[in-house]
Amino acid sequence: MSKSLSRKTFPFKVPHQTPLYLAPMAGVSESPFRRLCHGHGADVVVTEFLSAEGIRRENEATISKLRFNADEHPIGVQIFGADPAAMADAAAMVTDLFMPDFVDINFGCPVKKVVRRNGGSGCLKDLDLVQEIIRAVSKATHLPVTVKTRSGWNEEMRDPVGIALRMQDAGARVFALHARTRTQMYTGQANWDEIAKVAEALDIPVLGNGDIKTAEDAKRMLDHTKADGLMIGRGSYGQPWIFRQTRALINGEPLPATPGVNERFAVALDHARMVQDYEVDPIGAAIEFRKHLGWYVKGLPNSADLRAKLHQVRDFAEVEAIFSNYLTFYAEYVARGLKSDDPDVSSMTCEAA
């Protein structure tokens, strides 16, 4: 039977047969960015990973990150922890109070402060505990329970197919694999062969994740792994249009052009306005947004000078002024037919004329 006829079914409604997910990313996949990516073609979004203990104790900072708009559906809430009871309580609260489309369990975060409490990828050292957590969460909610994980704790415990089968047996309804071990962190290369093997072995949909930096990368992963969907994380930084571009390639259409400087700045400003409307602390929001600004201007002529200015902003109005000044510089840059490595460029500033 052909792949298209034997396609696995997602446990919630997705707009395309091969959905593109925005990965859950701490400090990045907040509501404004999720909405922006939805607008640029992401089919499914997931919240930042949230502590089960923080949810069950109604920690104000944790609960605030559970806010999402109606236009963010389909959306999943990702929780982490190593106590099955706490994870179950958190899933029940999330289901009753926030009504997402699914609950996702993080078994992949490699960050030390999470792992040292056996959360995230720390759980991969005890697969009995992993299954206990999935079963507890599944009993606590009527929503589909999905998982995101890595290929193992370390090379000695690397067994993505075995891990995947145990998670499926425990009740996971979608399986996302970042094909690195925890000890690899983000070094080396993600092993796409492992995603292919897991996709072949499981009866539930499998999402491929890892080393998708461009739409071309995404299409190559899909062709290589025959995954049922893709999860794009760091490849979305400063380029939410990667989802639209990827969809075009999947559909066999020409690759849409990467936005030019004017359009890129327009997207960044649209993102900034959404953040401004969403956050209650305008100065804190502007400071936190600096990282996004750095990603949006990556690779532009004189980008180091531009980033230095953007990384000092304390008000969103400053961003518009800096962008306006840069466009004046860029017009001269183009008119003079320069290249980014020409000696004259380094002597040009991004100040207004």
- Mean predicted confidence (pLDDT) in 180-197: 88
- Mean predicted confidence (pLDDT) in 180-208: 92
Indicate which residues carry an active-site annotation: 109
Percentage of residues of the chain with pLDDT beyond 70 = 90
Evaluate if residue 150 carries a pLDDT over 60: yes
**Weakest mean pLDDT among 31-40, 41-50, 105-114, 316-325:** 105-114
pTM of the full predicted structure?
A: 0.91
Evaluate if residue 89 carries a pLDDT over 70: yes
pLDDT tens, residue by residue, 232-243 = 999 999 999 999
Evaluate if residue 262 carries a pLDDT over 60: yes
Binding-site residue numbers for FMN are: 24-26, 78, 148, 178, 233-234
Instruction: Give the span between the Cα atoms of 199 and 226, in whole angstroms.
Output: 7
Confidence of residue 116 (pLDDT cuts 50, 70, 90): low
Q: Name the CATH architecture for the domain at 20-250.
A: Alpha-Beta Barrel (3.20)
Binding-site residue numbers are: 24-26, 78, 148, 178, 233-234
Instruction: Give the span between the Cα atoms of 262 and 105, in whole angstroms.
Output: 39
Evaluate if residue 215 carries a pLDDT over 80: yes
- Mean predicted confidence (pLDDT) in 102-119: 72
- Mean predicted confidence (pLDDT) in 156-180: 95
Nearest to 233 by CA among 68, 98, 110: 110
Percentage of residues of the chain with pLDDT beyond 90 = 77
Nearest to 296 by CA among 22, 21, 33, 24: 33
SS3 46: strand
The chain-wide mean pLDDT, for the chain, equals: 90
Evaluate if residue 247 carries a pLDDT over 80: yes
SS3 213: coil
- Mean predicted confidence (pLDDT) in 95-121: 78
Which residues, 6 or more positions from 62, have their beta carbon under 8 angstroms from its beta carbon?
50, 51, 54, 55
pLDDT at 221: 98
HSE-up of residue 260 (Cα within 13 Å, Cβ side)? 5
- Mean predicted confidence (pLDDT) in 119-123: 69
The more confident residue out of 245 and 335 is 245
Nearest to 243 by CA among 265, 261, 267, 262: 267
Instruction: Give the span between the Cα atoms of 264 and 292, in whole angstroms.
Output: 12
Evaluate if residue 114 carries a pLDDT over 80: no
Domain-wise residue ranges, the chain? 20-250, 261-347
Instruction: Give the span between the Cα atoms of 10 and 206, in whole angstroms.
Output: 10
pLDDT at 154: 76
**Weakest mean pLDDT among 61-65, 96-100, 292-296:** 61-65
The more confident residue out of 111 and 279 is 279
pLDDT at 115: 58
Evaluate if residue 3 carries a pLDDT over 50: no
Confidence of residue 332 (pLDDT cuts 50, 70, 90): confident
Evaluate if residue 206 carries a pLDDT over 90: yes
Evaluate if residue 284 carries a pLDDT over 60: yes
pLDDT at 341: 45
- Mean predicted confidence (pLDDT) in 209-213: 96
Confidence of residue 271 (pLDDT cuts 50, 70, 90): very high
**Weakest mean pLDDT among 56-60, 164-168, 191-195, 319-323:** 56-60
pLDDT at 120: 72
